[in-house]
Amino acid sequence: MKSKKPSRQTVFLDRDGVINQDSPDYIKRPDEFEFIPGSLEAIKRFTENGLDVIVITNQSVINRKMVSKEELDLIFSKMVKGVLANGGHIKDIFYCPHAPEDDCDCRKPNPGLIFKARKKYDIDLAESVMVGDSVKDMACARHAGVGKSVLVKTGNGIGALQTLLAQNTPPDHVAEDLNDAATWIINQLTFSSFK
Protein backbone atom coordinates (compact mmCIF):
# COMPACT_ATOMS: atom_id res chain seq x y z
CA MET A 1 0.00 0.00 0.00
CA LYS A 2 1.47 3.33 -1.11
CA SER A 3 1.46 6.12 1.41
CA LYS A 4 0.60 9.63 0.31
CA LYS A 5 3.66 11.77 -0.28
CA PRO A 6 3.69 14.54 2.34
CA SER A 7 3.52 18.09 1.03
CA ARG A 8 6.56 20.30 1.52
CA GLN A 9 6.43 22.38 4.65
CA THR A 10 5.65 26.06 4.21
CA VAL A 11 6.93 29.23 5.82
CA PHE A 12 4.52 32.14 5.39
CA LEU A 13 6.27 35.51 5.57
CA ASP A 14 4.82 38.96 6.01
CA ARG A 15 6.67 41.46 3.81
CA ASP A 16 7.08 44.95 5.30
CA GLY A 17 9.01 44.91 8.56
CA VAL A 18 10.03 41.26 8.09
CA ILE A 19 11.73 40.98 4.70
CA ASN A 20 12.20 44.69 4.01
CA GLN A 21 12.35 47.92 5.98
CA ASP A 22 8.85 49.23 6.71
CA SER A 23 7.82 52.87 6.29
CA PRO A 24 4.97 54.89 7.84
CA ASP A 25 4.56 56.39 4.35
CA TYR A 26 4.26 52.92 2.75
CA ILE A 27 6.56 51.35 0.16
CA LYS A 28 5.43 52.95 -3.11
CA ARG A 29 8.37 52.45 -5.50
CA PRO A 30 11.07 49.83 -6.05
CA ASP A 31 13.77 52.27 -4.87
CA GLU A 32 12.00 52.47 -1.48
CA PHE A 33 12.27 48.69 -1.04
CA GLU A 34 15.29 47.85 1.12
CA PHE A 35 16.02 44.39 2.48
CA ILE A 36 16.42 44.12 6.25
CA PRO A 37 19.94 42.81 7.04
CA GLY A 38 19.83 39.02 7.30
CA SER A 39 16.50 38.54 5.52
CA LEU A 40 18.10 37.38 2.27
CA GLU A 41 20.24 34.89 4.17
CA ALA A 42 17.15 33.63 6.03
CA ILE A 43 15.20 32.93 2.83
CA LYS A 44 18.24 31.21 1.35
CA ARG A 45 18.41 28.98 4.42
CA PHE A 46 14.70 28.13 4.15
CA THR A 47 15.22 27.19 0.50
CA GLU A 48 18.32 25.09 1.22
CA ASN A 49 16.38 23.18 3.89
CA GLY A 50 13.53 22.31 1.52
CA LEU A 51 10.96 24.73 2.92
CA ASP A 52 8.56 26.59 0.65
CA VAL A 53 8.42 30.36 1.23
CA ILE A 54 5.15 32.16 0.51
CA VAL A 55 4.69 35.88 1.14
CA ILE A 56 1.38 36.93 2.72
CA THR A 57 0.97 40.71 2.78
CA ASN A 58 -1.59 43.48 3.17
CA GLN A 59 -1.08 46.08 0.42
CA SER A 60 -3.81 48.67 0.89
CA VAL A 61 -1.70 51.08 -1.17
CA ILE A 62 -3.67 49.71 -4.13
CA ASN A 63 -7.13 50.72 -2.92
CA ARG A 64 -5.73 53.92 -1.44
CA LYS A 65 -4.67 54.81 -5.03
CA MET A 66 -1.09 55.36 -3.89
CA VAL A 67 0.34 52.60 -6.08
CA SER A 68 -0.94 50.88 -9.22
CA LYS A 69 -0.96 47.09 -9.54
CA GLU A 70 1.80 47.44 -12.13
CA GLU A 71 3.95 49.46 -9.72
CA LEU A 72 3.34 46.94 -6.94
CA ASP A 73 4.41 44.17 -9.32
CA LEU A 74 7.69 46.03 -9.92
CA ILE A 75 8.31 46.15 -6.15
CA PHE A 76 7.55 42.45 -5.84
CA SER A 77 9.83 41.75 -8.80
CA LYS A 78 12.71 43.55 -7.09
CA MET A 79 12.13 41.42 -3.97
CA VAL A 80 11.91 38.11 -5.85
CA LYS A 81 14.98 38.85 -8.00
CA GLY A 82 16.99 39.94 -4.97
CA VAL A 83 16.11 36.70 -3.18
CA LEU A 84 16.99 34.59 -6.24
CA ALA A 85 20.32 36.38 -6.69
CA ASN A 86 21.21 35.40 -3.13
CA GLY A 87 20.31 31.71 -3.46
CA GLY A 88 16.77 31.78 -2.08
CA HIS A 89 13.35 31.24 -3.65
CA ILE A 90 9.91 32.73 -3.04
CA LYS A 91 7.31 30.25 -4.24
CA ASP A 92 4.43 32.71 -4.44
CA ILE A 93 3.04 36.02 -3.19
CA PHE A 94 -0.51 36.52 -1.99
CA TYR A 95 -1.59 40.07 -1.22
CA CYS A 96 -4.72 41.91 -0.14
CA PRO A 97 -5.26 45.18 -2.04
CA HIS A 98 -8.15 46.32 0.14
CA ALA A 99 -8.36 49.11 2.70
CA PRO A 100 -9.33 48.23 6.30
CA GLU A 101 -12.86 49.58 5.84
CA ASP A 102 -13.51 47.28 2.85
CA ASP A 103 -14.39 44.41 5.20
CA CYS A 104 -12.80 41.72 3.02
CA ASP A 105 -11.83 38.23 4.11
CA CYS A 106 -8.28 38.48 2.75
CA ARG A 107 -6.90 41.38 4.77
CA LYS A 108 -4.93 40.18 7.77
CA PRO A 109 -5.88 39.40 10.54
CA ASN A 110 -8.45 37.52 8.43
CA PRO A 111 -7.10 34.21 7.09
CA GLY A 112 -8.25 34.46 3.46
CA LEU A 113 -4.79 34.79 1.89
CA ILE A 114 -3.46 31.74 3.70
CA PHE A 115 -6.56 29.77 2.71
CA LYS A 116 -5.95 30.74 -0.94
CA ALA A 117 -2.38 29.50 -0.66
CA ARG A 118 -3.54 26.25 0.96
CA LYS A 119 -6.04 25.64 -1.84
CA LYS A 120 -3.49 26.34 -4.59
CA TYR A 121 -0.66 24.25 -3.13
CA ASP A 122 -2.40 21.69 -0.88
CA ILE A 123 -0.51 22.96 2.17
CA ASP A 124 -0.76 21.26 5.56
CA LEU A 125 -1.28 24.39 7.65
CA ALA A 126 -0.77 22.55 10.93
CA GLU A 127 2.78 21.77 9.79
CA SER A 128 3.47 25.34 8.64
CA VAL A 129 4.68 28.51 10.31
CA MET A 130 3.87 32.21 9.96
CA VAL A 131 6.47 34.93 10.53
CA GLY A 132 5.37 38.53 11.05
CA ASP A 133 5.99 41.73 12.95
CA SER A 134 2.41 42.62 13.91
CA VAL A 135 -0.55 41.57 16.00
CA LYS A 136 -2.45 41.09 12.71
CA ASP A 137 0.12 38.58 11.47
CA MET A 138 -0.07 36.49 14.63
CA ALA A 139 -3.89 36.61 14.65
CA CYS A 140 -3.97 35.61 10.98
CA ALA A 141 -1.85 32.55 11.74
CA ARG A 142 -4.15 31.63 14.62
CA HIS A 143 -7.35 32.13 12.59
CA ALA A 144 -5.97 30.05 9.72
CA GLY A 145 -4.83 27.17 11.92
CA VAL A 146 -1.14 27.62 11.12
CA GLY A 147 0.96 25.37 13.36
CA LYS A 148 3.38 27.95 14.73
CA SER A 149 3.69 31.72 14.80
CA VAL A 150 6.94 33.65 15.08
CA LEU A 151 7.12 37.35 15.86
CA VAL A 152 10.23 39.23 14.76
CA LYS A 153 11.35 42.36 16.63
CA THR A 154 12.07 44.21 13.39
CA GLY A 155 9.39 46.51 11.95
CA ASN A 156 6.56 46.86 14.47
CA GLY A 157 7.51 43.73 16.39
CA ILE A 158 8.47 45.21 19.75
CA GLY A 159 5.21 47.13 20.12
CA ALA A 160 3.26 44.12 18.84
CA LEU A 161 4.86 41.87 21.45
CA GLN A 162 3.68 44.15 24.26
CA THR A 163 0.13 44.05 22.89
CA LEU A 164 0.15 40.30 22.41
CA LEU A 165 1.40 39.71 25.96
CA ALA A 166 -1.26 42.08 27.33
CA GLN A 167 -3.91 40.13 25.37
CA ASN A 168 -2.50 36.83 26.65
CA THR A 169 -2.00 35.67 23.05
CA PRO A 170 1.79 35.36 22.81
CA PRO A 171 3.44 33.99 19.67
CA ASP A 172 5.11 30.59 19.80
CA HIS A 173 8.50 32.23 19.43
CA VAL A 174 10.02 35.72 19.43
CA ALA A 175 13.07 36.35 17.24
CA GLU A 176 15.39 39.30 16.79
CA ASP A 177 14.95 39.26 13.01
CA LEU A 178 14.11 36.90 10.15
CA ASN A 179 17.50 35.22 10.16
CA ASP A 180 17.19 34.54 13.88
CA ALA A 181 13.68 33.22 13.23
CA ALA A 182 15.05 30.93 10.50
CA THR A 183 17.31 29.14 12.97
CA TRP A 184 14.36 28.30 15.22
CA ILE A 185 12.01 27.46 12.34
CA ILE A 186 14.43 25.14 10.58
CA ASN A 187 14.93 23.21 13.80
CA GLN A 188 11.18 23.04 14.45
CA LEU A 189 10.03 22.18 10.95
CA THR A 190 12.74 19.75 9.94
CA PHE A 191 13.38 17.86 13.14
CA SER A 192 10.03 17.70 14.92
CA SER A 193 6.32 17.60 14.27
CA PHE A 194 3.93 20.39 15.15
CA LYS A 195 1.06 17.97 15.80
C-alpha distances in Å from residue 49, one per residue of 11, 61, 188? 11, 34, 12
Pairwise CA distance, residues 108 & 176, whole Å: 22
Pairwise CA distance, residues 71 & 63, whole Å: 13
Residue 22 known to be catalytic: no
Question: Which residue among 14, 22, 137, 180 is the active-site one?
Answer: 14
Question: Which residue among 16, 52, 133, 180 is the active-site one?
Answer: 16
Strand order in the sheet with 173-175: 92-96, 52-58, 10-13, 129-132, 148-152, 173-175
Residues identified as active-site: 14, 16
